């Protein structure tokens, strides 16, 4: 327990302020003596340095008005004590031989009985002593003898005073903001000073007008100022559903995590049936070697536009081909690259190949080597590969700048000599990089072959016919098959289309059957 | 001989990956870890042999007097390595700041010039068959305009809670936008399935042709 040094109330250990009077209890883990500022350990009642009492004596004032003390007899008031008479002499002890024995004897005596040495203290001062005291009382402005300045120091002090006057030391002007911080004395606030009692403790001690914590916490929320809330009916319905879900008691986990053995067997069997159907739809057309799509597959306008853009290239023009894909989409992108690069080589254009993905450089090399051997292309003369280019946004821009400034190849003197950019992108961001960093700033024509996943995000660039952002676009394995059919050079993509078509039909049927079974089950449940 | 060995390894790893259809198993995990490890190792080799050596180290070694500016990116790259140790990671802040600064500047400028402004301009289409070129083109443009307005209305979240004709109009277009987005998400999902089927067909051709020799 910690006793408050101001009001004496008991407070919990560790308390910093008194719970009754609010005054600080401890300072730097102790109690500061109000007399000598000595830091005392917590819990002490008297200062360890000066002995001052740290806990004030609580006195309950009487409700009745105090009356002046009655002077029953002279000597009731102790005016002064003569030093020689204050200590009891051995003769005053009476019959007692020692102080201890005298104390015992005194306790046995009645209360009104006083020892002789104490009776001496009741003597009133004599008239001579009173007149002497009157004579020694100082008049206002006078100093006692012991405070009088010795003559030898008067000269030194007068010289110091003259030096101050010569230096014309004036009182410093205190700015208004600093004056506002001047600790105020207790009492009435000065004019222009904030109202309210001054702070008594802490860093703000003596400053008026500080904002207390209690008023802030006591401010009630202004709920009345909020606008009236209204929501559409469906919002209330949704809220009711949410409320119902939240309030619904949780079911025991045993009921949730333990499906019946029959259901598990049925689900596993159905999954294997789906696997079997998809595998059959893929494998059977391959083994049969069907070529229905080769003769009947339509070609979309975007693929035709891409083919036409390449077909329009003059011989010996330079085309920049970027292979930005990884093994995850290689099944779609490599057939595209084979179809388009084969067409470019048949057009006898020179190819500069790059890649914004590390894997793309490796995968494209197989395509280039195979097609270069088939079309008689020589590395360095007819085509070359700059490999992997790092830098995300800076990658395509560095390629465009590097053609002119860094002289990466003697195929072109600058990006303006590139007749067409052919982009193979497994993800949307690669098309966007080339469009934003090269096509738009330098105005180089561009076509793209993208994965099926990226198509919905890239197609708006192809549709922008006003600015010709993408002259042509082909999508996925289907796009590669369309290109092969348009070019009249059937390959792996076109051969895969029968399997792709059968799998698509199988998936559509499975989705229909699954939905029918689901809705049928719901109808039976009702 | 090595080609046959490679085909066999590839075929076994392919079947190992497809074993995940049965359940998660150690063989699938082995193939997964092999793929991740070989990819990281390959990327490291490519960066060293295709980027650092020919474009930074060799120019500095051959003609340092001309290629001395390459010391700056070399120093910035070395400072990036300090990011691995917390106590000295602050040394790499300048390199990161340089990368982010250049990247952000290129990205913002490119997005404005290559995507935002051209696409805003491309959304001003004619819905009249006379100016659009054909009835099909006009219908296509109407779908484009309706989808654009509806999607923008769906993401208009600052609509007041009260009723009124203005809010009713926005709610109508928001409903249109919701259905346009649902159709779009369906198309994206369908395209993704189509991509996965393409990968399956490519693997089937590999297993049946290159490995088993059943397809020519």
Per-residue pLDDT tens digits for A376-409: 999 999 999 988 998 888 999 988 888 766 667 8
Interface of A with B in 188-247 (CB under 8 A): 229-232
* CATH class for the domain made up of A298-489: alpha beta
Across the interface, of B119, B192, B197, the residue whose CB is closest to A503 is B197
Q: What is the pLDDT of residue B189?
A: 92
Chain A residues with beta carbon closer than 8 angstroms to that of B187: 456
Interchain contact A390–B (C-beta under 8 A): yes
**Helix, strand counts (H, E) of chain A:** 20, 10
Asked whether residue B185 is assigned to any structural domain, the reply reads: yes
Across the interface, of A439, A453, A500, the residue whose CB is closest to B191 is A453
Chain A residues with beta carbon closer than 8 angstroms to that of B194: 452, 476-478, 500, 504
B46 and A362: CB-CB below 8 Å?
A: yes
Interchain contact A491–B (C-beta under 8 A): no
A393, A473, A505: best mutation site toward chain B, by most B Cβ within 10 Å? A393
The better pLDDT of the pair A359, A116 is held by A359
Closest C-alpha among A66, A62, A67, A37 to residue A49: A37
Chain B residues with beta carbon closer than 8 angstroms to that of A229: 161
Chain B residues with beta carbon closer than 8 angstroms to that of A282: 197, 200-201, 204
pLDDT of chain B, 216 residues: tens digit per residue: 688 999 999 999 999 999 999 889 999 999 999 999 999 999 999 999 988 998 899 999 998 888 899 999 999 999 999 999 999 999 999 999 999 999 999 999 999 999 999 999 888 888 888 888 889 889 988 999 999 999 999 988 776 656 666 678 888 999 999 999 999 999 999 999 999 999 999 999 999 999 999 987
Q: What is the mean pLDDT of residues A229-254?
A: 81
Q: For residues A417-431, b (16+ Cβ closer than 10 Å) or e, as one string?
A: ebbbbbbbbbbbebb
Interchain contact B205–A (C-beta under 8 A): yes
The nearest alpha carbon in chain A to B122 belongs to A464
Chain B residues with beta carbon closer than 8 angstroms to that of A461: 118-119
Q: For residues A151-169, b (16+ Cβ closer than 10 Å) or e, as one string?
A: eeeeeeeeeeeeeeeeeee
Kindly indicate the confidence band of residue A134, based on its pLDDT and cuts at 50, 70 and 90.
low
B194, B210, B216: best mutation site toward chain A, by most A Cβ within 10 Å? B194
B47 and A441: CB-CB below 8 Å?
A: no
Question: Could you give the residue range(s) of every CATH 3.40.50.10160 domain in chain A?
Answer: 298-489
Give residue B203's domain range.
129-216
Asked whether residue B184 is assigned to any structural domain, the reply reads: yes
Chain A closest-CA separation from residue B204 CA (Å): 7
Interface of B with A in 131-170 (CB under 8 A): 144, 161-162
Distance CA A470, CA A462 (A): 5
| A398 Cβ contact partners less than 8 Å away, ≥ 6 residues apart | A389, A391
Chain A closest-CA separation from residue B89 CA (Å): 22
Chain A closest-CA separation from residue B61 CA (Å): 18
B106 and A394: CB-CB below 8 Å?
A: yes
Q: Is the dihedral of CA B104, B107, B113, B118 positive or negative?
A: negative
Q: What is the pLDDT of residue A76?
A: 41
The nearest alpha carbon in chain A to B52 belongs to A390
Distance CA A207, CA A181 (A): 7
The better pLDDT of the pair A128, B93 is held by B93
| B75 Cβ contact partners less than 8 Å away, ≥ 6 residues apart | none
Closest C-alpha among A355, A288, A302, A287 to residue A325: A355
Chain B closest-CA separation from residue A304 CA (Å): 17
Coil/strand/helix, residue A73 = coil
A436 and B113: CB-CB below 8 Å?
A: yes
Q: What is the pLDDT of residue A119?
A: 64
Across the interface, of A387, A436, A464, the residue whose CB is closest to B111 is A436
Asked whether residue B200 is assigned to any structural domain, the reply reads: yes
The pLDDT mean for chain A works out to 78
State the DSSP H helix or E strand holding residue A249, giving kind and residue range, or none if neither.
Answer: none
Asked whether residue B32 is assigned to any structural domain, the reply reads: no
A432 and B202: CB-CB below 8 Å?
A: no
Q: What is the mean pLDDT of residues A92-112?
A: 53
Report the number of distinct structural domains present in chain B.
1
Across the interface, of B50, B106, B202, the residue whose CB is closest to A331 is B202
Q: What is the pLDDT of residue A78?
A: 40
Per-residue pLDDT tens digits for A409-457: 888 888 999 999 999 999 999 999 999 999 999 999 999 999 999 998 9
Q: Is the dihedral of CA B147, B152, B155, B157 positive or negative?
A: negative
Instruction: Give residue A391's region: left, alpha or beta (phi > 0; psi -120 to 50).
Output: left
B103 and A392: CB-CB below 8 Å?
A: yes
Q: What is the pLDDT of residue A125?
A: 53
Q: What is the mean pLDDT of residues A18-34?
A: 71
Instruction: Give residue A17's region: left, alpha or beta (phi > 0; psi -120 to 50).
Output: beta
Across the interface, of A230, A286, A440, the residue whose CB is closest to B114 is A440
């Amino acid at each position: 327990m910690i006793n408050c040094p101001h009001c004496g109330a008991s407070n919990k250990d560790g308390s910093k302020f008194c719970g009754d009077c609010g005054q600080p209890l401890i300072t730097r883990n102790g109690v500061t003596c109000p007399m000598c500022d000595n830091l005392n350990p917590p819990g002490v009642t008297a200062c360890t340095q000066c002995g001052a009492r740290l806990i004030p004596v609580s006195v309950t004032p009487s409700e009745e008005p105090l009356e002046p003390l009655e002077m029953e007899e002279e000597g009731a008031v102790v005016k002064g004590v003569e030093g020689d008479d204050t200590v009891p002499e051995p003769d005053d002890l009476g019959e007692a031989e020692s102080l201890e024995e005298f104390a015992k004897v005194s306790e046995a005596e009645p209360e009104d009985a006083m020892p002789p040495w104490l009776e001496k203290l009741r003597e009133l001062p004599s008239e001579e002593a009173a007149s002497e005291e009157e004579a020694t009382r100082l008049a206002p402005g006078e100093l006692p003898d012991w405070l009088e300045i010795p003559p030898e120091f008067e000269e030194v002090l007068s010289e110091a005073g003259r030096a101050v006057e010569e230096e014309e030391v004036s009182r410093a002007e205190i700015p208004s903001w600093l004056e506002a911080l001047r600790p105020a004395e207790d009492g009435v606030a000065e004019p222009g000073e904030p109202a309210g009692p001054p702070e008594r403790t802490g860093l703000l001690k003596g400053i008026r007008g500080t904002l207390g914590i209690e008023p802030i916490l006591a401010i009630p929320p202004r709920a009345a100022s909020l606008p009236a809330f209204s929501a559409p009916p469906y919002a209330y319905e949704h809220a009711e559903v949410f409320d119902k879900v939240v309030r619904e008691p949780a079911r025991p986990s045993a009921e949730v995590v333990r499906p019946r053995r029959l259901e598990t067997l049925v689900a596993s069997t159905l999954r294997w049936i789906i696997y079997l159907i998809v595998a059959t739809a893929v494998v059977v057309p391959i083994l049969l070697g069907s070529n229905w799509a080769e003769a009947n597959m339509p070609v979309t306008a975007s693929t035709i536009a891409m083919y036409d853009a390449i077909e329009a290239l003059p011989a010996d023009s330079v085309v920049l081909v970027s292979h930005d894909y990884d093994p995850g989409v290689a099944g779609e992108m490599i057939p595209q690259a084979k179809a388009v690069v084969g067409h470019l080589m048949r057009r006898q254009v020179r190819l500069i190949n790059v890649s914004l993905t590390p894997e793309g450089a490796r995968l494209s090399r197989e395509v280039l080597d195979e097609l270069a051997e088939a079309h008689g292309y020589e590395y360095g003369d007819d085509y070359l590969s700059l490999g992997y280019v790092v830098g995300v946004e800076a990658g395509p821009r560095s390629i465009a700048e590097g053609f002119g400034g860094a002289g990466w190849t003697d195929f072109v003197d600058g990006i303006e000599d590139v007749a067409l950019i052919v982009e193979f992108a497994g993800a949307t961001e690669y098309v966007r990089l080339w469009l934003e960093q090269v096509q738009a700033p330098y105005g180089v024509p561009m076509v793209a072959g993208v994965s099926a996943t990226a198509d919905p995000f890239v197609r708006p660039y192809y549709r922008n016919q006003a600015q010709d952002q993408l002259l042509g676009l082909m999508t996925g394995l289907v796009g590669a098959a369309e290109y092969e059919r348009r070019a009249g050079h059937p390959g792996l993509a076109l051969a895969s289309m029968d399997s792709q078509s059968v799998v698509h039909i199988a998936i559509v049927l499975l989705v229909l059957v699954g939905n029918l079974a689901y809705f049928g089950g719901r109808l039976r449940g009702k | 001989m090595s080609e046959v060995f490679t085909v066999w390894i590839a075929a076994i790893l392919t079947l190992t990956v497809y074993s995940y259809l049965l359940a998660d198993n150690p063989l699938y995990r082995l193939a997964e870890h092999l793929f991740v490890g070989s990819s990281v190792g390959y990327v490291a080799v490519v960066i060293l042999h295709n980027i650092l050596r020919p474009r930074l180290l060799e120019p500095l070694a051959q003609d340092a007097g001309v290629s001395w500016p390459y010391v700056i990116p070399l120093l910035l790259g070395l400072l990036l390595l300090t990011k691995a140790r917390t106590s000295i990671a602050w040394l790499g802040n300048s390199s990161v700041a340089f990368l982010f600064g250049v990247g952000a500047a290129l990205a913002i400028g490119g997005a404005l010039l290559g995507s935002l402004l051209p696409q805003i301009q491309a959304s001003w289409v004619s819905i009249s068959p006379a100016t659009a070129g054909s009835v099909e083109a006009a219908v296509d443009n109407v779908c484009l305009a309706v989808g654009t307005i509806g999607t923008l209305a769906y993401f208009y979240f600052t609509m007041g809670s009260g009723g009124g004709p203005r809010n009713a109009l926005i709610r109508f277009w928001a409903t249109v936008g919701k259905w346009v987005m649902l159709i779009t998400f369906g198309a994206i999902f369908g395209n993704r399935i189509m991509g996965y089927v393409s990968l399956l067909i490519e693997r089937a051709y590999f297993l049946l042709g290159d490995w088993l020799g059943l397809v020519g």
